[in-house]
């Protein structure tokens, strides 16, 4: 699978290590997905917190250390079934291992599970 132009546009400003993982995962081609969000403005983050869609003002999206990926159905529409994101995480973890990049998946978070979210860890990638 080749990432579409919109996905490439949304990877602008994202840390090169995370971009490499997303690109390898895409080229492995076992899950069809696109990038829904990369770098985020402080204003948009504040809006998401107000809307209850995020719990932090310290999101890794603000610094280009996070991406949101959406699994696509064969017709190109978004698939929000969490089990699909478990499958995508398996593929992201394989790509990250191959590149020796550490990643964290929002699907493992207890407080606000975030299946479409992957980020570089704070301890290895401080601001």
Q: Which residues bind Zn ion (CB under 5 A)?
A: 68, 117
Contact yes or no for 26/52 (Cβ under 8 A): no
Q: How far is the CB of 74 from Zn ion (least distance, A)?
A: 25
If the CB atoms of residues 45 and 95 are measured against Zn ion, the closer one turns out to be 45
Q: How far is the CB of 119 from Zn ion (least distance, A)?
A: 7
If the CB atoms of residues 68 and 91 are measured against Zn ion, the closer one turns out to be 68
Return the SS3 of 76: coil
- Cα dist from 75 to 10, 34, 71, whole Å: 21, 13, 11
Q: How far is the CB of 88 from Zn ion (least distance, A)?
A: 13
User: Residue ranges of the alpha helices (H) in the chain?
Assistant: 5-10, 16-28, 42-50, 82-99
If the CB atoms of residues 10 and 117 are measured against Zn ion, the closer one turns out to be 117
């Amino acid at each position: 699978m080749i990432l579409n132009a919109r996905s490439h546009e949304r990877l602008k400003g994202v840390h090169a290590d995370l971009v490499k993982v997303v690109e390898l995962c895409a080229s492995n081609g076992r899950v069809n997905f696109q990038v829904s969000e990369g770098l985020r403005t402080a204003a948009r983050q504040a809006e998401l917190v107000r809307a209850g869609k995020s719990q932090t003002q310290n999101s890794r999206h603000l610094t280009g250390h996070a991406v949101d990926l959406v699994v696509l159905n064969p017709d190109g529409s978004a698939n929000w079934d969490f089990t699909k994101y478990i499958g995508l995480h398996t593929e992201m973890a394989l790509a990250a291992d191959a590149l020796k990049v550490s990643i964290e998946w929002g699907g493992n978070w207890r407080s606000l599970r975030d299946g479409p979210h992957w980020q570089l860890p704070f301890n290895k990638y401080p601001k």
